[in-house]
Amino acid sequence: MFEPIWNKFLTDRDKQVFEAAGYGSHGGFGKRPALLVIDVSYGFCGDRPEPILESIKRWRNSCGEESWVAIAKIRKLIDVAHRKGVPVIYTTGVRRPDNWDAGGWSRKNSRSNEAPKTSSNRHGYDIVDEIAPEPKDLVIYKLKPSGFFGTPMTGYLTQLNCDSVIVTGTTTSGCVRATVLDAFSYNYRVALVEDGCFDRSEASHAITLCDMNAKYADVVRTNEVLAYFETLEEGMFNLPTGVPVS
């Protein structure tokens, strides 16, 4: 069992309260999972690994070097999911060119009207090439934090007969958290991949994982998910063909 990343932020009192109250039980994986890859785009990762304070000069939402460490883990999860025929569902943002639909985002960030492009001219909402979706994968475009809010996510999961989700991506305290909460609210089993998620704030990342593990999800490591995927039968899901209808 790995040492929880959040332990260094908790007081002894906090640890005793969680244990006495019974929080943090392990719920276990489901039988028909989907892998969710939340917002792993150039806007949140930058276009190359570099210290976060350098990266955010060019792209305000970048999470810096930690993004690319997690991307390598996510790549492994996607590869095995593809081989086993497990659904892979990506989310990313979308905006009108005039940014009118930014809504509340524009009230909470002083740089929200910056053009969504990196210095390499990749659009900020483009999913990074290193884990780019393949034809059989699903991509959901969203305006708000949760991958479920105002999107076809629940319809896709219903069509696939999924009972559970494995969540990766960014930011842990933002869109990942919102997606986990909604998945939990829809009664899916939820696993959150600790080393497959990232955030611009170290404290927010750790404490969010603590909250999620206490109440809403099992916080697991990449290797645990890979081992679980290997137990699944191949071809369980009716995935898109990826071939245009003639």
Q: What is the CATH number of the domain that holds 106?
A: 3.40.50.850
Residue 10: per-residue pLDDT:
93
Query: How far is it, in rounded angstroms, from Cα 192 to Cα 100?
Result: 32
Query: Across the chain, what does the average pLDDT equal?
Result: 92
Residue 227: per-residue pLDDT:
98
> Half-sphere exposure (CA, 13 Å, Cβ side) for 109?
12
Residue 3: per-residue pLDDT:
81
User: Looking at the domain assignment, is residue 23 inside a domain?
Assistant: no
Predicted confidence (pLDDT) at residue 131 exceeds the cutoff of 90: yes
Give burial (CB, 10 Å; 0-12/13-18/19+) of 233: exposed
User: Looking at the domain assignment, is residue 153 inside a domain?
Assistant: yes
Domain count, the chain: 1
- Determine the 3-state secondary structure of 198 from DSSP: strand
User: Looking at the domain assignment, is residue 198 inside a domain?
Assistant: yes
Residue 208: per-residue pLDDT:
97
User: Looking at the domain assignment, is residue 61 inside a domain?
Assistant: yes
User: Looking at the domain assignment, is residue 89 inside a domain?
Assistant: yes
Cβ partners under 8 Å of residue 109, min gap 6: 60
Q: Tens digits of per-residue pLDDT, 141-183?
A: 999 999 999 999 999 999 999 999 999 999 999 999 999 999 9
User: Looking at the domain assignment, is residue 166 inside a domain?
Assistant: yes
State which H helix or E strand residue 194 sits in. Answer: strand 189-198
Q: Look up residue 133 and give its DSSP letter.
A: P
Q: What is the dihedral of CA 9, 12, 14, 20, to 10 degrees?
A: 140
Residue 180: per-residue pLDDT:
98
Overall average pLDDT of the 67-96 stretch: 96
In this structure, how many other beta carbons lie within 10 angstroms of the beta carbon of residue 77? 22
Residue 2: per-residue pLDDT:
66
| Residue of 39 and 98 predicted with greater confidence | 39
Residue 116: per-residue pLDDT:
52
User: Looking at the domain assignment, is residue 162 inside a domain?
Assistant: yes
Residue 173: per-residue pLDDT:
96
In terms of residue numbers, what domain contains 161?
A: 29-230
